[in-house]
Amino acid sequence: MTVELDHLIVYSRDKRVAATFLADMLGLAPPAPAGKFMAVRVGGLSLDFADVAEVVAKHYAFAVSDAELDAVIARIRERRLPYWADPQRTQANQIADRGNGSRAVYFADPSGHWLEVLTR
């Protein structure tokens, strides 16, 4: 039997805003309605955004190529979003250099979820 993660529900203050933000920031296809959700395809996985009154922030990490990370960083800077090199938010306006060519950046989405974009 092959097991594959199909979808995750991402709680948000405004599903359209949050889904569009993620798709735009990662350079993905625009979100599409999926029943009561707004779905963003990330590889073979669907992130299904749902509206809730109170969001408990989660951490979502996305592995990308070097060129894709550079594009995400450019979008962050273009939008003048706060970003950090570390999840503790002590290294503002920096990109993490993890050695062996790996880099990462952290920033928040409109609902307060903590997004990490990294290269391997």
Instruction: Please provide the DSSP assignment of 78-108 as one string.
Output: HTT---BSSTTS-SBT--EE-STT-EEEEEE
Is 1 inside a domain boundary? Answer: no
Per-residue pLDDT band at 110 (split at 50, 70, 90): very high
Give pLDDT tens digits for 84-93. 999 999 999 9
Q: According to the model, what pLDDT value does residue 39 have?
A: 98
38 lies in a domain?
yes
Q: Quickly state the pLDDT bin for 104 (edges 50, 70, 90).
A: very high
CATH number of residue 86's parent domain: 3.10.180.10
Q: What is the pLDDT of residue 70?
A: 97
pLDDT digits (tens, 9 = 90+) for 67-103: 999 999 999 999 999 999 999 999 999 999 988 889 9
Split into its structural domains, the chain has a count of 1
For residue 4, pLDDT beyond 90: yes
Is 2 a domain residue? no
pLDDT the model gives residue 16: 98
109 lies in a domain? yes
CA distance 95 to 118: 10
Q: Does residue 35 belong to any structural domain of this protein?
A: yes
pTM beyond cutoff 0.85: yes
**Is 71 a member of any domain?**
yes
Helices (H), the chain: 15-26, 66-78
pLDDT at site 109: 98
Token pair recorded at residue 83: 């970003």
Reply yes or no on whether the pLDDT at 1 is more than 80.
no
The parent domain of residue 30 ranges over 7-118
> Are β-strands 37-42 and 96-97 bridged in parallel, bridged antiparallel, or unpaired?
unpaired
- The answer to whether 110 and 13 are in contact (CB under 8 A) is yes
Rounded distance, CA 104 to CA 81, Å? 15
